[in-house]
């Protein structure tokens, strides 16, 4: 039965499929401590559903098994280090950097269709007594920790899952089910003495191995944080406008990464190096039209243009001032505040020339 399910998952396009019990994750004490420290920032949903994350039985009563699935979003060459290097624009049209996962159509939609098909296969194969719930990181489940227990990978010092066969560029999905299946064996941690991810983090958000303060993480600051970005962290964001890949790209396990089958046809080339000045011109309707099917829609116009202003403040030249002056009068206070900050930064750089 288990191998039939695994093969069906691979046939549907997933790159790996593993199994573990529906017991509570061993990392619950660390998760609880992380919440208590406030390192989750404004991600209140993590605190609100903490009890469910600590006990899968509260998500699905009678659950016996978790099926963990991986889908690679590595670029075609399958290498880890990003092709895009962060550098000053020096008068050239400024471009931003979008995290690699977000340069595709929204993975939730891409994975959901196959995940539902796998859940349906599970029900058809096991009979009418089967109850299941499936998630693409949308449910109150500690998927990373359970994926590690299933042998799908191991948790790296940057706190992300690392797959021995796929590297760091991995989406996770899960099916929680009442069907009892033999669990796979967990893999051991294979980071060794390597600390490349800690050294790569621009904001020192990785406080120590396996300890991430999300409040300093650029992915949190540019995506999850809905308000003003702390002024002291803005210069460290560089030209990143949605997420950050630095700790992931630094990992040597990426030498084994390979392009995944599910995501290879969903790449959005326009998001490779978007023109920051053009982005700053978007009104709400244009923003929705451009990004409706991509992860960037999560940031809303106010969030994305906030990030664009920060990027321009870090790398922009006088060329960006007219657009920023217009943004400084934007009806959205979050945009206007960050535009004024960017203008001041550019003017200070120009005065030193």
> Dihedral sign, CA of 34, 36, 41, 45?
positive
Q: What is the pLDDT of residues 94-104, one digit of tens each?
A: 999 999 999 99
Mean pLDDT, rounded, of the chain: 93
Question: 79 falls in which pLDDT band (50, 70, 90)?
Answer: very low
Q: What are the catalytic residues?
A: 137
Residues 6+ apart with CB under 8 A from 6: 17
Counted residue by residue, the chain has a size of 353
Residues 278-325 have pLDDT tens digits of 999 999 999 999 999 999 999 999 999 999 999 999 999 999 999 999
pLDDT tens digits, 146-180:
999 999 999 999 999 999 999 999 999 999 999 99
Roughly what angle, to the nearest 10 degrees, separates helices 284-291 and 300-315? 90
283, burial (CB in 10 Å: exposed 0-12, middle 13-18, buried 19+): exposed
Question: Residue 270's pLDDT is what?
Answer: 81
> Which pLDDT does position 77 carry in this prediction?
57
Cα–Cα distance list, 21 to 24, 64, 186, 335 (Å): 9, 6, 11, 46
Residue 53: its pLDDT value, please?
Answer: 95
CA angle 338, 90, 234 (to 5 degrees): 25
Domains and CATH numbers, the chain: 2-91+104-177 (3.40.109), 275-353 (1.25.10)
């Amino acid at each position: 039965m288990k191998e039939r399910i695994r093969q069906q998952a691979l046939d549907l396009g997933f790159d790996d499929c593993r199994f573990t019990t529906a017991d509570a994750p061993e990392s619950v004490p660390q998760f609880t401590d992380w919440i208590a420290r406030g390192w989750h920032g404004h991600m209140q949903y993590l605190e609100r559903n903490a009890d469910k994350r600590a006990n899968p039985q509260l998500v699905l009563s009678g659950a016996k098994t978790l099926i963990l699935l991986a889908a690679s979003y590595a670029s075609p060459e399958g290498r880890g280090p990003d092709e895009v290097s962060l550098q000053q624009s020096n008068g050239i049209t400024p471009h931003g950097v979008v995290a690699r996962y977000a340069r595709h159509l929204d993975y939730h939609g891409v994975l959901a269709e196959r995940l539902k098909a796998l859940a349906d296969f599970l029900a058809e194969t096991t009979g009418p007594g089967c109850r299941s719930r499936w998630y693409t990181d949308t449910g109150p489940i500690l998927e990373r920790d359970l994926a590690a227990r299933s042998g799908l990978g191991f948790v790296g010092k940057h706190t992300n899952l690392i797959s021995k066969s796929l590297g760091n560029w991995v989406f996770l999905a899960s099916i929680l089910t009442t069907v009892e299946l033999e669990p796979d064996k967990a893999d051991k941690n294979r980071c060794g003495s390597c600390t490349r991810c800690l050294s790569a983090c621009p904001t020192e958000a990785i406080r120590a191995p396996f300890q991430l303060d999300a409040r300093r993480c650029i992915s949190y600051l540019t995506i999850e944080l809905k308000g003003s970005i702390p002024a002291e962290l803005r210069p460290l964001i560089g030209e990143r406008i949605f997420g950050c890949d630095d700790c992931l790209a630094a990992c040597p396990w990426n030498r084994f990464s390979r392009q995944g089958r599910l995501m290879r046809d969903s790449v959005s080339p326009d998001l490779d190096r978007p023109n920051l000045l053009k982005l700053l011109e978007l009104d709400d309707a244009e923003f929705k039209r451009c990004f409706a099917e991509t992860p960037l829609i999560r940031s809303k116009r106010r969030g994305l243009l906030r990030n664009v202003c920060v990027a321009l403040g870090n790398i922009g030249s006088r060329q960006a001032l007219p657009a920023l002056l217009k943004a400084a009068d934007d009806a959205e206070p979050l945009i206007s505040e960050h535009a004024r900050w960017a203008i001041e930064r550019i003017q200070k750089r120009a005065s030193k020339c």
